[in-house]
Amino acid sequence: MNQLLKKYPEEIKRILAKYPTEQKQAAVMPLLHLAQGEIGFVSRTAMQEIAEITGVTTTEVASVVGFYTLFHDAPEGKIRLQVCTDVACDLRGAKEYLANLCQQLDAKPGETSMDGFITIEEVKCLAACDRAPLFQSQIGNELEYHENQTPTRTMDWLRSMSAALNGTPLRSSASIEEAPATKSTDGGGNE
2-32: per-residue pLDDT in tens? 788 899 999 999 999 999 999 999 999 999 9
Check whether residue 104 and residue 162 sit in a common domain: yes
User: Is 171 contained in some domain?
Assistant: no
pLDDT category, 116, cuts 50, 70, 90? confident
pLDDT category, 165, cuts 50, 70, 90? confident
Chain centre to alpha carbon of residue 130: 21
C-alpha triplet 144, 150, 156: angle, nearest 5°: 70
User: Is 16 contained in some domain?
Assistant: yes
| pTM tops 0.85 | no
Range of the domain at 59: 7-67
Check whether residue 101 and residue 154 sit in a common domain: yes
**What does the alpha-carbon distance between residue 156 and residue 168 come to, in Å, rounded to a whole number?**
14
User: Is 131 contained in some domain?
Assistant: yes
Q: Tell me the residue type at 109.
A: P
Check whether residue 63 and residue 124 sit in a common domain: no
Q: Tell me the residue type at 77.
A: G
Whole-number average pLDDT of the chain: 86
| Boundary of a domain, candidates 17, 39, 67 | 67
Of the candidates 43, 45, 38, the residue with the CA atom closest to the CA atom of residue 8: 38
Check whether residue 25 and residue 90 sit in a common domain: no
121: three-class secondary structure by DSSP? strand
Check whether residue 48 and residue 87 sit in a common domain: no
Residue 123 pLDDT greater than 60, yes or no: yes
User: Is 23 contained in some domain?
Assistant: yes
User: Is 50 contained in some domain?
Assistant: yes
Instruction: Check which CATH number belongs to the domain holding 114 and give it.
Output: 3.40.30.10
Residue 72 pLDDT greater than 80, yes or no: yes
User: Is 37 contained in some domain?
Assistant: yes
Give the total number of structural domains in the chain: 2
Check whether residue 95 and residue 161 sit in a common domain: yes
Q: Please tell me the predicted confidence (pLDDT) of residue 1.
A: 58
Check whether residue 101 and residue 132 sit in a common domain: yes
Check whether residue 87 and residue 161 sit in a common domain: yes
Q: Please tell me the predicted confidence (pLDDT) of residue 174.
A: 45
Question: Is the Cα torsion angle 178, 179, 180, 184 positive or negative in sign?
Answer: negative
Q: Please tell me the predicted confidence (pLDDT) of residue 24.
A: 94
Residue 151 pLDDT greater than 90, yes or no: yes
Q: Please tell me the predicted confidence (pLDDT) of residue 27.
A: 97
Check whether residue 155 and residue 109 sit in a common domain: yes
Give rounded-to-5 percent helix, strand, coil for the chain.
45, 15, 40
Check whether residue 87 and residue 154 sit in a common domain: yes
User: Is 174 contained in some domain?
Assistant: no
Check whether residue 93 and residue 132 sit in a common domain: yes
Residue 97 pLDDT greater than 90, yes or no: yes
**What does the alpha-carbon distance between residue 46 and residue 107 come to, in Å, rounded to a whole number?**
28
User: Is 1 contained in some domain?
Assistant: no
Check whether residue 146 and residue 83 sit in a common domain: yes
Instruction: Check which CATH number belongs to the domain holding 58 and give it.
Output: 1.10.10.1590
